A and B are shown apart, each in its own frame.
Chain A
Amino acid sequence: MTTLRIIYILWLREIKRYYRARSRIVGSLAQPVLFLVALGYGLGPVFNKAGQGNYINFLVPGVIGMSIIFTAIFSGVAVIWDRQFGFLRETLVAPVSRLSIMAGRTLGGATVATGQGIVVFFIAFLIGFRPAGWFGFIPAVFVMFLIAILFTALGTGIAARMKDIQGFQLIMNFLVMPVVFLSNAFFPLKGLPPALNIVVAANPFSYGVDALRGFLSGATHFAVGIDIAVLAATAVVFLVIGGYLFSTIEA
């Protein structure tokens, strides 16, 4: 019971902090909108001519995934901010296990990231995206949450070993960008050069996007069951590693 209450209060803190940082919300929505409009309308005709169908329908799950990944990593990496501003110590000297702190933070960060994904979905709807069927919406939110958990845990684990905020740019450029662009988020897997194909297939994010595509656009590459199995397994691995790294923090 107490553990649940502790996880809840940490979760609540993440939600409050997100909700109160209005400028951050606007900023983090500008990017997916830009991708939807510029790529969606810009490359749409070419995509269509190549016989691949409607590009917006293809692109939206990828952009939803991208905005989730950015928000999730950012939430995880916020451990560094808390360290810099001292607040991390308040939680570390409290009589609670590191694992419940990690659990609360991760659930909070993942909830925020999932919310972000849902908002992007509705923005896409305004722009002209129509899901293949509304029955897929709930399972799609579940997939969003899995992606969010996976990358929040990854961000937390990395942040537990980072010394200062300067390293954040490094993470964005050498981890998040490659994960997003070396996936099936923006292009289909058919007819890729073999090397790229291997990289994309080894990227857990590809399975997240694929599952979203299955539920929202009605087309998958790997099959939804495989997607969810890969996502869930990777999330568990990252949670265990992240939990271990977080439990060894000395601040």
Chain B
Amino acid sequence: MARAIIEVSHLTKKFGDGTVAVNDISFSVAEGGIFAFLGPNGAGKSTTIQMLTTILKPTAGTIRLGGTDIVSDPSTVRKMFGVIFQDPTLDDELTAFENLEFHGVLYGIARAERRARIEKMLAFVDMSKRRNDFVKNFSGGMKRRLEIARGLLHHPRVLFLDEPTAGLDPQTRNHLWDSLREMNRTEGVTIFFTTHYIEEAERAAKDIVIIDHGKIVASGTADSLKKETQATTLEEAFLALTGKAIREEEGSATDHLRMMRRAYSAHR
């Protein structure tokens, strides 16, 4: 087994209104692997990703990325990962190229190298021809591809993706996964992702952790999870582990704001 690039121990996040989104979870992710973090709506996936990417501060517990504690040394850690959040984080008023250029400067990549890397990544996600178009004119799938190009621009060791394929058609989803696997193979980027398409996790991920109500309920490979629950597919295993009850959750935009409101009151 390769050494761990992400080590999470006893991680907890409580929000100001008393909800415990993540409750004392521990897991580790092997370097160079593809890792799926699964769970129903409201299980704590996004909160965990937000803590892993230094957006939210943990209430308790530690996270180490490449051996560095993310709370005590966020700058070092931030250079090490790329992230694609659930909602797009591109600037609509800038062009595809300008978004990448902005990112490259923020990550301190020298000009010549930056330009070469931008061209390479644009070609990689098949967007070279749209480089000077405004992002506001792009479809959801194109925005996602551009975000992947951007997330990989600074040669991160880990790429976090929060439901990267939500709302995309099967063609785009397949294309996206081909790209991610290629990057995983050629550049050795560790892929950490969440998804509701369980068959994606079954196909792509080597290691899987399932979280529910802020707690880890199972972990292992797709095969070991199926064996454990005597299921034929990972989706059946997932349902066996997390139950069939539908989770109440508001629409994503409202959810996003509510999340933020919680984060705020937590801060005060």
Q: Does B57 interact with chain A (Cβ within 8 Å)? A: yes
B75 interface residue, CB < 8 Å from A?
A: yes
Are A90 and B89 in contact, CB atoms less than 8 angstroms apart? yes
**Contact bitstring A15-58, B, C-beta under 8 A = 1, else 0:** 01100110000000000000000000000000000000000000
Proximity bits, B136-148, A CB within 8 Å = 1, else 0: 0000000000000
**Is the pair B106, A250 in contact by a Cβ cutoff of 8 Å?**
no
Interface residue? A96 (CB, 8 A): yes
- Is there an interface contact between A20 and B93, defined as CB atoms closer than 8 Å? yes
A251 to B75 CA separation, bound complex (whole angstroms)? 17
- The chain B residue with its CB closest to the CB of A82 is B91
- Find out whether the CB atom of A248 lies under 8 angstroms from the CB atom of B90: no
Q: Quick one: given A9-B105, A86-B85, A163-B261, are A93 and B55 in contact (CB under 8 Å)? A: yes
A6 to B107, CA, bound (A): 9
Asked if B264 is at the interface (CB within 8 A of a chain A CB), the reply is yes
User: Known contacts being A13-B102, A16-B98, A250-B263, is A2 close to B108, with CB within 8 Å?
Assistant: yes
Q: Mark B67-105, 1 if CB is under 8 A from A, else 0.
A: 000000011101101010101111111100010011101
Closest to A18 in B: B93
User: Of all chain B residues, which has the CB nearest A251?
Assistant: B55
Residue of A nearest to B105 (CB): A9
Size of the chain A interface, CB-CB below 8 angstroms? 30
> A16 and B94 in contact (CB under 8 A), knowing A90-B103, A163-B260?
yes
Q: How far is the CA of A95 from the CA of B77 in the complex (A)?
A: 8
- A87–B53 touching, CB < 8 Å: no
List which A75-100 residues lie within 8 A (CB) of chain B: 83, 85-97
Chain B residue numbers with a CB within 8 Å of A164 are 257
- Given the interface pairs A9-B102, A94-B106, the reply to whether A83 lies near B93 with Cβ below 8 Å is no
Does chain A have a CB within 8 A of B267? yes
Number of interface residues of B (CB under 8 A): 36
Answer yes or no: B54 CB below 8 A from chain A CBs.
Answer: yes
For A85, the chain B residues whose CB sits under 8 A away are 88, 91-92
Assembly CA distance A211 to B191 (angstroms): 58
Contact B89 A94 (CB under 8 A): no
Say whether, besides A2-B108, A250-B267, A89 and B260 are in contact (CB < 8 Å): no
B204 close to A (CB within 8 Å): no
- B183 close to A (CB within 8 Å): no
Give every chain A residue within 8 A of B75 (Cβ-Cβ).
Answer: 95-97
A93 and B108 contacting across the interface, CB-CB below 8 Å:
no
Decide: A93 and B78 in contact? CB cutoff 8 A. Answer: yes
Chain A residues with CB under 8 Å of B107's CB are: 94-95
B55 and A250: CB pair below 8 A? yes
Q: Which residue of B lies closest to A83 (CB)?
A: B260
In the complex, B56 has a CB within 8 A of chain A: yes
Q: Give Cα distance in the complex from A87 to B267, angstroms.
A: 21
Across the interface, name the chain A residue whose C-beta is closest to B79: A95
Complexed CA–CA distance, A85 and B143 (Å): 13
Q: How far is the CA of A25 from the CA of B57 in the complex (A)?
A: 39
Binding site for A on B (CB under 8 A): 53-57, 74-76, 78-79, 81, 83, 85, 87-94, 98, 101-103, 105-108, 257, 260-261, 263-264, 266-267
Given contacts A90-B103, A94-B106, 18 further A-B contacts (CB under 8 A): A8-B105, A9-B106, A17-B91, A17-B93, A20-B93, A83-B260, A86-B88, A86-B89, A87-B90, A88-B89, A89-B85, A90-B89, A90-B102, A95-B75, A95-B76, A95-B79, A250-B264, A251-B263
User: Can you spell out 8 A-B residue pairs with CB atoms less than 8 angstroms apart?
Assistant: A13-B102, A17-B91, A17-B93, A17-B94, A86-B88, A88-B89, A94-B107, A163-B261
In the A-B complex, the 5 residue pairs with the smallest Cβ-Cβ separation, listed nearest first, are A95-B78, A86-B89, A94-B106, A9-B105, A90-B89
